Structure 1
């Protein structure tokens, strides 16, 4: 009774919506059938692959990378048992749950990233407004002191923007490496 069928669910989603969908799918207790070309979604959410080909549906024995290799080379990859594994692999369901837990743990960092993006947008608007003022030639004739203050404000906003952008880049890299 608890079954979701999703056909290309990430086609029109932004990154945040896509992450939210993956978290919801990982937390969902029922069965989910996903038809998708989104490798990241597949790797993060599925624990079984089924191959639809020539009017048949068969369970697929490998993972998404095995299927990619098969399509590109035209040959089935070496069976998993024959592969030399240095680190034992966790079951796909456990890997999926671990990925969902990492995303949950990273939620505060994601909020900091969104806050930094908001600050950057506000600073960029302030800089653009000042640029508009400084582009008026009459400002320099009527009130050169105001022009100097605006130029100083612009420089301060620019420094602050650069600092926030550096923080944003560092946080984004941390987030991406943690959820990858």
Structure 2
């Protein structure tokens, strides 16, 4: 079992990439504490956030980051919007659903590609259920 606290602090870009790949292929367990999002997303397959005195598990890095932003009060700050070109159509609800569908398919495929002991069956079930709802909503399945 490895316990790593900010292991990439004094590494260059190549060293960070090599560390991420080494941790990704590591057969044992590893607890990684880091602010380095690239390292986290390369090396980790489970995500926790300590918030309100509780340890919470999150299905993916993006949702964990969103929870951290909420905890830091960043979620209440106004989000800068990109100006849209008058020629660019606004993203429709269907577009957003299709985008989420692709995201879920990628999360599921990446998790299934992991070694079985590193997979997240509960997340897989949640992703599959959401995929089914989206497929039905979009009329892709019966």
Gap regions ≥5 residues in structure 2: 77-95, 116-142
Q: Distance in 1 between matches of 2:61 and 2:56?
A: 15
The CA distance in 1 between the partners of 2:34 and 2:112, in whole Å, is 21
TM-score (norm 2): 0.50
**Counterpart for residue 75 of structure 2:** 73
Match of 1:124 in 2: none
- Mapped partners of 1:39, 1:18: distance in 2: 11
Residue by residue, what CA displacement relative to the aligned partner does 1:129-163 show, whole Å, maximum 9, x if unpaired?
xxxxxxxxxxxxxxxxxxxxxxxxxxxxxxxxxxx
Asked whether the 8 Å contact 1:44–1:96 carries over to 2, the reply is no
Distance 1:95 1:38, change over 3 A: farther
Corresponding residue of 1:148:
none
2: CA distance, partners of 1:55 / 1:69: 17
Query: How many pairs are equivalent?
Result: 86
Contact 2:49 2:64 in 1 (8 A): no
Q: Which runs of 4+ in 1 moved over 4 A?
A: 92-97
SS of the aligned residue for 1:89 comes to: helix
Looking at both structures, which has the greater relative contact order when contacts are Cα pairs under 8 Å and sequence separation is at least 6? 1
CA offsets per residue over residues 79-122 of structure 1, 9 Å max, x none?
xxxx733421244545779xxxxxxxxxxxxxxxxxxxxxxxxx
Cα distance between partner residues in 2 of 1:11 and 1:95: 29
Q: CA deviation at 1:64?
A: 2.5
- The structure with the largest helix share of the pair is 1
Alignment root-mean-square deviation, CA = 2.6
Gaps of 5+ in 1: 75-82, 98-180
d(CA) in 2 for partners of 1:15, 1:49: 23
- Per the alignment, residue 106 of structure 2 pairs with 89
Give the Cα–Cα distance (whole angstroms) in 2 for the partners of residues 56 and 73 of structure 1: 19
* 1:45 CA displacement: 1.3
Give the alignment's TM-score, normalised by structure 1. 0.41
SS of residue matched to 1:58? strand
- The residue that corresponds to 1:16 in the other structure is 14
Residue among 46, 50, 53 paired with 1:52: 50
